[in-house]
């Protein structure tokens, strides 16, 4: 059995798996809006929140940490960029600036992972088709079909990268510091293989009567739990805006 991939949808019965996709998506937008429009210590408030979400979603922590190595490295670079961005300023201010940038990045990353991990491409399809069903002259299903294919192909691309890497490493590849050549050796087969698999994927979809005009009839229902989660997240966002507006935490005084 292949190892768990955090960028795959994984079926489960957690409260987040059962959460309505449309509300989840709106919460995602709302939190992103708040996250990228706030600064200072308030960002740190989101960290326990997303950790709580990761726990709720039932993601395997060991797999999460193992597969986030590259993203952690990117986070450190973002933090370093934040440190050098704020000039002229004291070292403390620059350190905090880097820390906040890094925290914002990790909060967004973890929230995205939780979203992808708990949403199947089918749910995304139903959500988009549902969103557009009241809008005349726009085929929501065509737009949703596009997203279904893109979203379904994401794991395929990740798998292909893994296969290509293993194929190269098994033949003593990646030796030396030939960054450009090594990148080419990885990217080229990934692109070609992904295109071939895309063609197969399209055949598989069409052979079983999938067309943009066909319907998924059952739209997701909104339950009381969904509404409660939505209210909690909306309140959290409003609170964050409120705190930011009145500047309760003026970290420049530190």
Partner 1 sequence: MNLEVTNLCFGFEKNNYLLKNITFCVKTGEFIVLAGENGSGKSLLMKHLNGLHSPSSGALLFNGKEVSKNKSEVRRKVGLVFQNSDAQFVAQTVFDEMAFGPENLGWEKNEIERKVSHYADIFGITPYLDRHPHFLSGGEKKRIAIAAVMIMRPDLVIFDEPFATLDYKGVISVCNTIIDIYNQGCSVIVITHDLEKILAHATRMMIMKSGMLVYDGKPSLEKKLLLDNNIRVPHGNRRSVESCTWLA
- Binding-site ranges for partner 1 (CB under 8 A): 1-2, 8-11, 120-122, 152, 155, 159, 197, 200-201, 203-211, 214-218
Closest to partner 1 by CB, 9 or 100: 9
Please report how close the Cβ of residue 217 comes to partner 1 at its closest, in angstroms. Answer: 6
Residues sharing a CB contact under 8 Å with residue 38, sequence separation 6 or more, in sequence order: 240, 241, 244
Please report how close the Cβ of residue 205 comes to partner 1 at its closest, in angstroms. Answer: 6
The residue whose two tokens read 């004291």 is 90
What 8-state DSSP symbol labels residue 209?
A: T
In degrees, to the nearest 5, what angle opens at C-alpha 91 toward C-alphas 88 and 96? 100
Closest to partner 1 by CB, 177 or 208: 208
Closest to partner 1 by CB, 148 or 240: 148
Closest to partner 1 by CB, 167 or 211: 211
Tell me how crowded residue 27 is: count the other CB atoms within 10 A of its CB: 22
The residue whose two tokens read 């880097």 is 98
Please report how close the Cβ of residue 215 comes to partner 1 at its closest, in angstroms. Answer: 6
Helices (H), 14-120: 21-35, 46-57, 61-67, 69-85, 91-118
Please report how close the Cβ of residue 14 comes to partner 1 at its closest, in angstroms. Answer: 13
Closest to partner 1 by CB, 5 or 182: 5
CA distance 180 to 102: 28
CA distance 175 to 115: 37
Please report how close the Cβ of residue 192 comes to partner 1 at its closest, in angstroms. Answer: 15
Please report how close the Cβ of residue 65 comes to partner 1 at its closest, in angstroms. Answer: 21
8 Å CB contact between 21 and 126: yes
8 Å CB contact between 82 and 102: yes
Closest to partner 1 by CB, 209 or 253: 209
Backbone angle region of 138, left / alpha / beta, with phi > 0 → left and psi within -120 to 50 → alpha? beta
Closest to partner 1 by CB, 84 or 146: 146
Please report how close the Cβ of residue 148 comes to partner 1 at its closest, in angstroms. Answer: 9
- Can you read off the two tokens belonging to residue 232? 């909690």
């Amino acid at each position: 059995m292949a190892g768990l991939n955090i960028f795959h949808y994984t079926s489960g019965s957690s409260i987040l798996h059962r959460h309505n996709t449309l509300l989840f998506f709106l919460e995602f937008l709302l939190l992103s809006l708040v996250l990228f429009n706030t600064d200072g210590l308030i960002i740190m408030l989101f960290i326990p929140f997303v950790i709580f979400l990761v726990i709720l979603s039932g993601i395997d922590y060991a797999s999460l940490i193992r597969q986030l190595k590259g993203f952690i490295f990117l986070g450190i670079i973002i933090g370093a960029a934040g440190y050098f961005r704020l000039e002229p300023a004291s070292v403390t201010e620059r350190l905090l600036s880097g820390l906040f940038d890094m925290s914002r990045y990790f909060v967004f990353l973890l929230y995205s992972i939780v979203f992808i991990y708990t949403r199947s491409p089918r749910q995304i399809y139903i959500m988009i088709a549902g969103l557009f069903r009241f809008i005349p002259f726009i085929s929501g299903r065509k737009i949703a079909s596009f997203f279904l294919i893109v979203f379904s192909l994401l794991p395929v691309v990740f798998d292909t990268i893994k296969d290509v890497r293993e194929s190269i490493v098994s033949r003593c590849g990646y030796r030396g510091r030939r960054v450009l050549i090594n990148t080419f050796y990885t990217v080229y087969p990934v692109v070609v293989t992904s295109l071939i698999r895309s063609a197969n994927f399209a055949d598989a979809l069409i052979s079983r009567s999938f067309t943009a005009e066909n319907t998924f009839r059952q739209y997701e229902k909104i339950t009381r739990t969904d509404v409660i989660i939505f209210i909690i997240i909306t309140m959290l966002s409003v609170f964050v805006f409120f705190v930011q507006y009145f500047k309760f935490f003026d970290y420049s005084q530190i």
